[in-house]
Amino acid sequence: MILRCGTRTLDLSYPNVMGVLNVTPDSFSDGGRFSALDDGLKQAERMLAEGAHIIDVGGESTRPGATQVGTQEELDRVIPMVEAISSRLDVCISVDTSSPEVITNAARAGANMLNDVRALQREGAVQAAAATDLPVCLMHMQGQPDTMQNNPNYHQVFDDVYVFLAKRIQACSQAGIDLSRMLVDPGFGFGKSLDHNLTLLAKLEKLKTLRVPVLVGLSRKSMIGAILKSDAGDRPVDDRLFGSVSAAVIAAMNGAHIVRVHDVKETADALKVVAAVKRLSD
Ligand code: 7PM
């Protein structure tokens, strides 16, 4: 119910909102690093005011087709942002990274949680995470970001994802990470067709038997664009707000503890409605 996050705690007895903060160079007007830091801090401040419980700082684009970011570049983007937020804002900071160097330095800079779309499978990542006292989110992905959407394939998507997450929990446990420090995420859109994603959302509640909190990211993803498809094609990314909020509500009703979103205010309102109902249902 309470998740210890280094110097902070999260109350997971109601759905929590994680706001996305991208610190890739293309995410801000091209005024250089100081401008990017300042813009990022303002965005973090705004998300906090809008009801975010966690700010997820990410410096590597996992966009399909994206080129990999070098370690030094990722450190240069992420670490100053973590330092700036942790010294100024009263909010839990998570860092979206697969790099052991970024994990180690982010923890020193004041990060409260680690979020890895590769579930700590990179060389040295489990050891680096274990050496911090921070919780880790283990996400499922099939394939690699550049090619994962080319013909994703499963025997039974829910069972396959479940078994993968169970194995990663086991591997992290053996490396000295306590179960009380782990979260899982089925990885919507990461090597999944629309039907794969919908099956995972429909069966989300069943992830609870892994006995760790569940985090989901559905915000603005292509599955929302595909569900809202018209003759004009998939709904563009800037018009997926209502679909994204609806998906967040379904996920929270189906047991998600943390929902990772771009539109904090709208999602926070919707999840307060879910929390009000859930409090009297179970
Ligand atoms: C382009 C495509 C840019 C996709 C960014 C993305 C998740 C995550 C991301 C998630 C967890 C996005 C993704 N998605 N971490 N990081 N779960 N734990 O849509 O679903 O934001 S990046």
Residue 128: both structure tokens together: 């680096």
Distance 239 CA to ligand 1 centre (A): 18
pLDDT tens, position by position, 205-245: 999 999 999 999 999 999 999 999 999 999 999 999 999 99
Residue with tokens 């959407």: 149
Global pTM exceeds 0.75: yes
Ligand 1, atom nearest to 115 Cα: 18
Q: Is 58 helix (H, G, I), strand (E, B) or coil?
A: strand
Ligand 1, atom nearest to 220 Cα: 19
Ligand 1, atom nearest to 139 Cα: 18
pLDDT tens, position by position, 158-193: 999 999 999 999 999 999 999 999 999 999 999 999
User: How many residues are listed for the chain in this entry?
Assistant: 282
Distance 62 CA to ligand 1 centre (A): 7
Distance 173 CA to ligand 1 centre (A): 25
Distance 189 CA to ligand 1 centre (A): 8
Q: What is the mean pLDDT of the chain?
A: 95
Q: How many domains does the chain have?
A: 1
Residue nearest to atom 5 of ligand 1 (CA): 63
Q: Which pLDDT does position 68 carry in this prediction?
A: 74
Q: Which pLDDT does position 28 carry in this prediction?
A: 47
Residue 200: both structure tokens together: 């995972």
Residue nearest to atom 10 of ligand 1 (CA): 217
Active-site positions read: 221, 260
Residue 24: both structure tokens together: 């890739």
**Pocket residues for ligand 1 (CB within 6 Å)?**
20, 61-63, 96, 115, 117, 137, 139, 185, 187-188, 215, 217, 221, 260
Put the strands of the sheet holding 215-217 in their side by side order. Answer: 182-185, 136-139, 113-116, 92-96, 54-58, 16-22, 258-261, 215-217
Question: The CATH number of the domain where 132 resides is what?
Answer: 3.20.20.20
Residue nearest to atom 3 of ligand 1 (CA): 63
Distance 145 CA to ligand 1 centre (A): 10
- The band of 69, judged by pLDDT with boundaries at 50, 70 and 90, is confident
Rounded to 10 degrees, what is the CA torsion of 234, 239, 243, 247?
100
**Residue 239 lies in domain:** 2-281
pLDDT tens, position by position, 15-41: 999 999 999 765 444 567 778 899 999
Residue nearest to atom 2 of ligand 1 (CA): 63
CB under 8 Å to 35, separation ≥6 — which residues? 28, 29
